[in-house]
Amino acid sequence: MLQFREFQNEDAEAVSNLIRRNLLEVNSKDYSQKEIERLHRSFSPKKVISLSNKRDMIVAEEKGEIFGTASLGNYGTDDEPEWTLYTVFVLPEYHNRGIGKNLVKEVEKMAVEKGGVELTVPASITAHDFYINLGYYYADGVKQPNQEGLYLMRKKL
């Protein structure tokens, strides 16, 4: 049975691999090769550990195999937190099985437990429809990706 748990440093290689596979096999349809190569380099195991020190990162795991990951970051202040959903990735062969949806629900629950009332996600071109189906909307009504190729989306929790 699939379980959601906190990321541990020994998960870094598996998480790095699943993110990199998504970039190459899925996101590459919507972004330039140069951008995918840049992102691929940026999600090394060492970088994943570094991100986990700045965010609350979780993994979806079953019998020791990691199937997906997501994270929650606060880039506001303690007095005015700005909760952001990041790095939602699922092994490509397990897409459309509810793993990503459940990862997002877990992160939303984490945000609520921390007092969050809204969650922002910088959604890729590839994933913005996924977030619409989960109740997210385009921030400020802007339905165009920004200069980084991301849609800024929000959801009231």
The pLDDT of residue 77: 82
Over the chain, what is the mean pLDDT? 95
Which structural domains are found in the chain, ordered by start? 3-156 (3.40.630.30)
pLDDT greater than 90 at residue 131: yes
Q: At residue 81, does pLDDT exceed 90?
A: no
Close Cβ partners of 30 (under 8 Å, ≥ 6 residues apart): 124, 125, 126, 149
Across 80-85, average pLDDT = 92
The model's confidence at residue 75, banded by pLDDT at 50, 70 and 90, is confident
Q: What is the mean predicted confidence (pLDDT) over 125-137?
A: 96
How far, in Å, are 39, 62, 93, 142, 152 from residue 67 at the CA level?
20, 8, 9, 32, 25
pLDDT reported for residue 78: 78
Comparing 78 with 2, which gets the higher pLDDT?
2
Please tell me the predicted confidence (pLDDT) of residue 79. 81
Q: What is the pTM of this model?
A: 0.94
Q: Which tens digit of pLDDT belongs to each residue from 96-124?
A: 999 999 999 999 999 999 999 999 999 99
> What is the pLDDT, as a whole number, of residue 57?
98
Question: Under a CB-based contact definition with an 8 Å cutoff, are residues 90 and 67 in contact?
Answer: yes
Considering only residues 130 and 77, tell me which one the structure prediction assigns the higher pLDDT. Answer: 130
